[in-house]
Structure formats: structure tokens, C-alpha cells
Structure 1
Amino acid sequence: MAKLFVAFTVACALFAGVFGLVIVRGDGMTPTSGDGDVALTSRTDRNLVANDLVVYRSTSGQQLVGRVVAQPGDTVEVTNDGEFKVNGATQPSKAGGKTEPVESGPTYPLTLGDGEYFVLGDNRASAVDSRAVGPVGISGVEGKVIALLRLRAI
């Protein structure tokens, strides 16, 4: 019985400090993930690079899942004709759609400061992301997604 208690305590400590589970809400990351999927995150990996999936909190406290598309020092631009550019180079969307600016979002071009990332959803038409909430600070990143569990429609 003591071994079971120790194993349970260690597992709880790992999930509390090292790993996290997040239920994906909405279809902002379609086709990569969808509403009801579960993301397993690493809370300790802070080495974020372009294309990493992250779970973060917006300034309003909303928990979001998105893809890092630009890192500290990069200059991003979302044009009125739906192009997304990093350091002047047009970047395609994973889902193939346009990247429209958000009226209440940041002004462009925007150069990211130390510890700031620009995060977009794969389904740009319905995603709430950095176009609306601005750059995401590393302190707002709750974890780097290391696995997606497809639980929707089960």
C-alpha cells in the first residue's frame, strides 16, 4: 500500500510541475487539433522556436492553443490583403487560408521584444491569437505541446 501511495504522489508531482493536460476549445487549430482534443504539455521546456505548438493565456485570462510563428527580434506584419509576413517574407497558413488583421489588434509592422512570441491558430478564420491579443510573453506560455490526443467525436 505504501508503494502505491508513493507512486501516486510522484505521478501527481510530475503532472503538477512538469506536465499539464489541456482540453482544446474551439476550432482555431483545425486541422491540427479540434474542439475536445487533449494536449499534453511540458511546462519546463522554454526553448520555443517557430512551428512549436503552445498553450498560453491571453491578457484576458483565456487559455488558448496556437503555433509559434515568430520569435524575439522578428518583425511581423499582417497586411490588409491577408498576407502574413515575418521579416518581410510571406508565410503560408497551415490550413491554406488568408491571415486577416483584427481591427482591435496590434499595429504593424511589429518587432517582437525579448521573451515575446507571435502565436497564430492554424485555422486563421476562426482563431483568437496574437492578431487579437498581441505578442505572447514567455511568462504567459503555460506549456509546449508534446502530444495531442484526439478525443473529439468519441
Structure 2
Amino acid sequence: MTKKKNELWEWVKALLIAIALAAVIRYFLFAPIIVDGLSMMPTLKHQDRMIVNKLSYEIGEPERFDIIVFHAPEEKDYIKRVIGLPGDHIEYRDDTLYVNGEAYEEPYLADYKKQAEGPLTDSFSLEETPVGSLTVPEGELFVMGDNRRFSKDSRHIGTISMDKIIGKTSIVYWPLNDAHIVKK
């Protein structure tokens, strides 16, 4: 009788430890997210399932072209690409990204640009967006979706505060036949 009680208690302890460990991993380290919408096409598809690394910016800083998940003003989480870092002057001219006056290639858009009729990204400067300043403010990021014609991003909602970032994402794990690491 005592042996069965001990065995049952061991199973209960193992289950409680597994649940606690899963909760710690889910809330502090990694979390699943589902892509909702087409704003990151062709890089990410609607209903792609991804892993968000919540620890990435606790130990490092966002880099240009990272794909991040953040709390948007509409009480919803968005997935977008980092285009501008604090202090950057951002401008688009003739479908080309200029950061601090230097043209940048966006290889993740190359195939999409070939298919598009006309410019994929309309020309704008940072001052013409809700940001309204010459440079991205300190502690903020300028983000855009890869589907530039159909993305609600910093051109519409302004810059994103660093404290609104949930984490960085680069692993699509579902659908299984399309699982991959997203490149910059």
C-alpha cells in the first residue's frame, strides 16, 4: 500500500514539475504565435505558426530587418520587420529604402518586386508619417510589413516603443511541409 502511495506521489510531482517548467518556458522564454493576415507576405503566410524568442532582446538589441512581434495600439499583437533603429532617418524613393541617406537592398522583397506592377513601396519620408520627425526617436523602432501595399505599420501607427516588443521570431514550425528559418 505504501509503495503504491509513493509511486502515485512521484507521478504527481513529475507532472507538477513538467507543468511548471512548461509555464516558465511559455511565459518567459519562448511562445507560439499564429500569423494573422497577409501583411508579411510573401515572407510569412496567413496562419503560419511561429516561435517567438522572448529572451532575444533581454540580452541583445534589435537589428535592422529582424522580424519582431509587438503589442500594437489596437490591443493586438503584430508581426513586422524592423526597418529603422533609434536615430535613423528613413526614406523610400523609387521603391528603394534609404537609411541615413544610404540605399539598402531588401533581398526578401526581390521576387515580390518582380511580380508587382509599379512600385511595391510608395515613396515617403519619416517626417510624412505619424512619427513626424527627422529620425526614429530613442527607444523606438520603425517597422514595416513585407506586403507593403497592404500592411498597417509604422507608416500608419507610428514608431514602436521597445517596451512593447514581445520578442524576435524567425522559425516557422507549421505547416510542417513549409517549416523553415526566416532569413533577413
TM-score above 0.5, yes or no: yes
Q: Scaled by the length of structure 2, what TM-score is found?
A: 0.72
Q: Aligned pair in 2 of structure 1 residues 83, 28: CA closer, same or farther (>3 Å)? A: same
Q: Deviations over 1:8-50 (max 9, x none)?
A: 2111111012212111011111121110011211112212101
Instruction: Output the CA distance in 1 between the equivalents of 2:43 and 2:62.
Output: 18
Q: Which has the higher contact order (CA 8 A, sep 6+)?
A: 1
Tell me, which stretches of 5 or more residues in structure 1 are unaligned? none
In the alignment, what sits opposite 1:131? 155
Please give the secondary structure, in 2, of the residue aligned with 1:14: helix
Partner residue, 2:42: 31
Pair 45,138 (structure 1): closer, same or farther in 2 beyond 3 Å: same
Instruction: Name the CA distance, whole Å, in 2 between partners of 1:29 and 1:152.
Output: 19
Contact 1:19 / 1:42 at 8 angstroms: preserved in 2? yes
User: What do residues 45-97 of structure 1 show as CA deviations (whole Å, max 9, x unaligned)?
Assistant: 21210111100122222321111112111111245x54432111233443225
1:115 corresponds to which residue?
Answer: 139
Q: 1:22 to 1:48 in 2, by over 3 A?
A: same
Instruction: Determine the structure 1 residue equivalent to 2:89.
Output: 75
Q: Secondary structure in 1 aligned to 2:38?
A: coil
Aligned residue pair count: 152
Relative to total residues, which structure has the larger helix share, 1 or 2? Answer: 2
Partner of 2:169: 145
Structure with larger Rg: 2
Distance in 1, matches of 2:135 and 2:20, equals: 44
Q: Percent identity?
A: 27
Q: Give how far 1:151 is off.
A: 2.5
Partner of 1:53: 67
Query: For 1:38 and 1:53, how far apart are their aligned partners in 2?
Result: 14
| Distance (Å, rounded) in 2 between the aligned partners of 1:26 and 1:152 | 19
2:131–2:158: 8 Å Cα contact kept in structure 1?
no
Go from structure 1 to structure 2 and tell me whether the alpha carbon gap of 1:9 and 1:61 turns closer, same or farther (over 3 Å shift): same
TM-score between the two structures when normalised by the length of structure 1: 0.84
**Structure 2 residue identity aligned to 1:75:** H
| Structure 2 gap segments, 5+ residues each | 1-10, 114-118, 179-184
SS of the residue 2:156 aligns to: helix
Residue type at the aligned position of 1:36: Q
**Structure 2: distance between partners of 1:50 and 1:112:** 13
Q: Does 1:85 align with 2:98?
A: yes
Q: 1:115 to 1:19 in 2, by over 3 A?
A: same
Following the alignment from structure 1 to structure 2, what is the Cα–Cα distance between the partners of residues 92 and 6?
Answer: 48
SS in 1 for 2:82: strand
What is the aligned-residue RMSD (CA, Å)?
2.6
